[in-house]
C-alpha cells in the first residue's frame, strides 16, 4: 500500500513537473529576450544625418551652447575646381543654401523637416573623439535640450576610417572600444539619445573592416565596462553570415547602391531594372533567426560624380527608385527603415529640400512613414 501511495505521489509529481516544464523554460527565455532583443520596440524610421558642413559665418552661440567648428572657413561644400557658395561638392543644391551645420536656426529647421516627414531619429556621422563631427553631435543634443523635438539621435560610428585601419588589430580594438565607451558615457545620458527600453543604440559603418573576432572582443569589453547597449552593424550583401548576427545586436546595409549597380551591369541595363529584394530578405532572415534587429535601407537615388571619377549614378526617375525601395524594405519584414540619407549631398542621396526637387522627397517620406508606422 505504501509503495502504491509513493508510486502514485511520484507519478503525480512527474506529471506536474512535465506540465510545468514548458512554462519553466519559457519564462527565462522571455526575460532574456526582453533584455537582449530590440525586436519588441515599435517600428521606427531613422535617417542618416551629416553635420560636417561649414561656411564662413561663425555661428557660435552660448545661448544654445553651440560651438562652431569652422568659424571662418568652408567645410565639405568646397573641393578642387569648386567655388562655394556658387559651385559646391554636390549634384543638387540645397534650398537652404550652402549652410553651416552649426547654425542654430539650421539645426532647428532640420528638426522640423524631419518631424514633418515622420522621421523618428537621426543617425549622425561621427569620426572620433574631439573631431568636428563630435563637436557637431554635441551641438545637436544641446539644441534638442533647448527646443524639445520629437526626435532621437545616435551616432554612426565610422569604422571605415584611415585613423583606425592604419592601426594594428590589437591596438585598433582598444581604440574602438575606448571610443564607443566615450560615446556611451558622454552622450547616452541625454534624454534625446536613441534608446530601446532605456538601452542606448549605436550604429556602426563597415563591419567588414575588422575581423569577426575583433567585434566580439570590442563589444564584450564595452558592455562589461559600460553595461547593456545595442550595436547595429552595416554589412555587405555577401557578408551577412550567421556569426555576425550572433555578435551584433542588429544588421543593416548603409547603402544598396553597389548591389543595384552590380545587378544593373548583369542585366546590361542603364535603367532601374534591378531587384534587391533577395538581398534584403536574406539579411532579414539571418537577423531574425537570432532574434536581432533588422533595419532595411531606402535611397532616393545616388550620384557621386561631382566628388568621384567616374562615380556611380542611380537615377531617381522621379520617385520610382525611392518608392521601389520602400516597397522592398517593407516586404522584407524590416523592423526599422533607414533613409540614406537626410543630407549626404556629396553622394546625391539627400531627401532634404533642394532647388531641383524642392520638398518632393520630404512629402513622399511623410506618406511612407505614415504607412510603415501604421502597419
Q: In the structure grid, which three cell numbers stand for residue 139, read together? A: 551641438
Q: Quick one: what percent of the chain has pLDDT higher than 90?
A: 76
Helix axes 320-331, 277-289, angle to 10 degrees: 30
Burial call 227-237: b when 16+ CB within 10 Å, e when fewer: eebbbbbbbeb
Residues in contact with 102: Cβ distance below 8 Å, sequence separation at least 6, in sequence order: 54, 59, 60, 66, 67, 68, 69, 70, 136, 139
pLDDT, residue 260, reads 75
- Any idea which of 37-46, 180-189, 208-217, 340-349 has the lowest mean pLDDT? 37-46
The arithmetic mean of pLDDT across residues 332-341, rounded, is 96
Q: Convert the chain into a string of H (helix), E (strand) and C (coil).
A: CHHHHHHHHHHHHHHHHHHHHHHHHHHHHHHHHHHHCHHHCCCEEEEEECCCCECCCCCCECCCCECCCCCCCCECCCCCCCCCCCCCCCCCCECCCCCCCCCHHHHHHHHHHHHHHCCCEEEEEECCCCCHHHHHHHHHHHHHHHHCCCCEEEEEEECCCHHHHCCCHHHHHHHHHHHHHHHHHHHCCCCCECEECCEEEEEEECHHHCCHHHHHHHHHHHHHHHCCCEEEEECCCCCCCHHHHHHCCEEECCCCHHHHHHHHHHHCCCCCCCCCHHHHHHHHHHHHHCCCEEEEEECCCEECCCCCCCCCEECCCCCHHHHHHHHHHHHCCCCEEEECCCCCHHHCCCCCCECCCECHHHHHHHHHHHHHHHC
pLDDT in tens, 207-232: 999 998 999 999 999 999 999 999 99
Q: Between 89 and 257, name the one with better pLDDT.
A: 89
- pLDDT greater at residue 280 or residue 26: 280
Question: How far is CA 323 from its chain centroid?
Answer: 20
Instruction: Inform me whether the pLDDT recorded for 19 exceeds 60.
Output: no
pLDDT at 17 over 70: no
| pLDDT of 20 higher than 60 | no
Give the tens place of pLDDT for each residue, 294-313: 999 999 999 999 999 999 99
What is the rounded CA–CA span in Å between residue 244 and residue 248?
6
pLDDT of residue 61: 96
Cell 523635438, residue located = 149
Q: What are the extents of the domains in the chain?
A: 45-374
In this prediction, residue 270 has a pLDDT band, given cuts at 50, 70 and 90, of low
1 falls in which pLDDT band (50, 70, 90)? very low
CATH class of the 45-374 domain in this structure: alpha beta
For 95-134, the pLDDT digits (tens) are 999 999 999 999 999 999 999 999 999 999 999 999 999 9
Joined together, the cell numbers standing for residue 317 give 526617375
What is the per-residue pLDDT for 264?
Answer: 57
Q: Is the pLDDT of residue 181 over 80?
A: yes
- Where residue 251 falls among pLDDT bands split at 50, 70, 90? very high
Higher-confidence residue: 246 or 341?
341
pLDDT higher than 90, residue 338: yes
Residue 21 reports pLDDT greater than 60: no
Amino acid at each position: 500500500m505504501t509503495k502504491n501511495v509513493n508510486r502514485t505521489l511520484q507519478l503525480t509529481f512527474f506529471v506536474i513537473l512535465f506540465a510545468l516544464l514548458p512554462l519553466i523554460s519559457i519564462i527565462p527565455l522571455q526575460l532574456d529576450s526582453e533584455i537582449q532583443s530590440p525586436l519588441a520596440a515599435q517600428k521606427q524610421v531613422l535617417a542618416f544625418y551629416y553635420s560636417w558642413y561649414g561656411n564662413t559665418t561663425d555661428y557660435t552661440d552660448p545661448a544654445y551652447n553651440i560651438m562652431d567648428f569652422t568659424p571662418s572657413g568652408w567645410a565639405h561644400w568646397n573641393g578642387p575646381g569648386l567655388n562655394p557658395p556658387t559651385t559646391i561638392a554636390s549634384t543638387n543644391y540645397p534650398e537652404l543654401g550652402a549652410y553651416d551645420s552649426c547654425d542654430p536656426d539650421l539645426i532647428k529647421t532640420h528638426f522640423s523637416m524631419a518631424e514633418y516627414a515622420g522621421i523618428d531619429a537621426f543617425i549622425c556621422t561621427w569620426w572620433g573623439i574631439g573631431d568636428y563631427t563630435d563637436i557637431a553631435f554635441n551641438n545637436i543634443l544641446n539644441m534638442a535640450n533647448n527646443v524639445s523635438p520629437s526626435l532621437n539621435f545616435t551616432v554612426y560610428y565610422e569604422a571605415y576610417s584611415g585613423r583606425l585601419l592604419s592601426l594594428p588589430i590589437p591596438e585598433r580594438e582598444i581604440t574602438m572600444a575606448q571610443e564607443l565607451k566615450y560615446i556611451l558615457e558622454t552622450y547616452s545620458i541625454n534624454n534625446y539619445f536613441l534608446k530601446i527600453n532605456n538601452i542606448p543604440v549605436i550604429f556602426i559603418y563597415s563591419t567588414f573592416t575588422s575581423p569577426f573576432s575583433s567585434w566580439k572582443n570590442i563589444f564584450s569589453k564595452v558592455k562589461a565596462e559600460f553595461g547593456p547597449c545595442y550595436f547595429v552593424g552595416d554589412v555587405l550583401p555577401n557578408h551577412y553570415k550567421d556569426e555576425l548576427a550572433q555578435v551584433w545586436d542588429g544588421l543593416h546595409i548603409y547603402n544598396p547602391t553597389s548591389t543595384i549597380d552590380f545587378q544593373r551591369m548583369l542585366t546590361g541595363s542603364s535603367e532601374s531594372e534591378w531587384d534587391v529584394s533577395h538581398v534584403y530578405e536574406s539579411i532579414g532572415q539571418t537577423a531574425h533567426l537570432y532574434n536581432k534587429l533588422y533595419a532595411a535601407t531606402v535611397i532616393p537615388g545616388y550620384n557621386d560624380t561631382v566628388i568621384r571619377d567616374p562615380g556611380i549614378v542611380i537615377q531617381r526617375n522621379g520617385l520610382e527608385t525611392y518608392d521601389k525601395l520602400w516597397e522592398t524594405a517593407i516586404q522584407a519584414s524590416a523592423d526599422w527603415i533607414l533613409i540614406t540619407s537626410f543630407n549626404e549631398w556629396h553622394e546625391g542621396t539627400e531627401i532634404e529640400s533642394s532647388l531641383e526637387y524642392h520638398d518632393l522627397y520630404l512629402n513622399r517620406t511623410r506618406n511612407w512613414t505614415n504607412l510603415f508606422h501604421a502597419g
